[in-house]
Amino acid sequence: MDLKLKGRTALITGASKGIGYSIAQFLAAEGCPLHLVARSQPDLEAARERIGRQYGVPVAIYPMNLAERGRAKELAATCSGIDILVNNAGSIPRGSVEEIEEDRWRESWDLKVFGYINMSREFYRLMKARRGGVIINILGNGGEALDAGYIAGGAGNAALMAFTRALGGQSAKDGVRVVGVNPGPVATERLIGLMQKEAATRLGDASRWREFEKGFPFGRAATVEEIGATVALLASDLSSYTTGTVITIDGGMVNRGSLI
């Protein structure tokens, strides 16, 4: 399907691997010039080489830590013509309120929660001035089905859900759309690595990690492509009446009463 995104410029954070890289691929396939942000320069260079070779679109890279103050302003000054902003950088550790100490909690929120807010603030201003643009926040279904064992992540994602809905609820008057995506478990390198570690510990064989997927809807985790395809659709004019809402892609997990 031609989403008519050709020539629209996209900036994606956390773009060198996993969900962010898949989003970059889908937007590149639609003809979008890309600006990719992540902390690892080697990973970004590899992503740029693969995407440029496969899709033939311009790809600029920015190795930086968005938890650092001033980085969002720096990117907005450098990439002022962005049509699509995808906030995806950051993960928040599991653990109870006793286990996640203040420094660790603040560090993860500085990257994901305040990183998203700062990037949205800077690029919203630019999009408002041009009366056009889309901001897509990749969140997580832990913000809907709250779990005391993932309290920092659940609270952070719930805060970003409220932020996305509040900003997107009034953004139409400025010609801007703001939406969120809540993935459930996604078969990223990180998740597979965690399940391999768990399989080695509990089953004595890391290769048996897929046995832990049996409790997921449809007996598997989502693929990164399923998330990337949804983001591309939301970024397009086929979703031009969609703003101030959050789309959950978790196989129905939040509606079955448990995330386990």
Give me the tens of pLDDT residue by residue for the chain, a chain 260 residues long: 789 999 999 999 999 999 999 999 999 999 999 999 999 999 999 999 999 999 999 999 999 999 999 999 999 999 999 999 999 999 899 999 999 999 999 999 999 999 999 999 999 999 999 999 999 999 999 999 889 999 999 999 999 999 999 999 999 999 999 999 999 999 888 888 888 988 898 989 899 999 888 889 999 999 999 999 999 999 999 999 999 999 999 999 988 765 55
Q: What is the pLDDT of residue 258?
A: 53
The DSSP 8-state label assigned to residue 110 in this structure reads H
Cβ-proximal residues to 156 (8 Å cutoff; 6+ apart), any chain: 92, 108, 109, 112, 113, 143
The DSSP 8-state label assigned to residue 36 in this structure reads E
DSSP assignment string, 215-254: TSGGGSPBPHHHHHHHHHHHHSGGGTT--SEEEEESTTGG
Q: What is the pLDDT of residue 193?
A: 87
Domains of the chain: residue spans and CATH = 10-183+222-246 (3.40.50.720), 187-220 (no CATH)
- Yes or no: say if 180 and 243 are a contact pair by the CB < 8 Å rule: no
Q: What is the pLDDT of residue 239?
A: 98
Main-chain dihedrals φ then ψ at residue 90, nearest 5 degrees? 115, 145
Tokens of 193: 């690595």
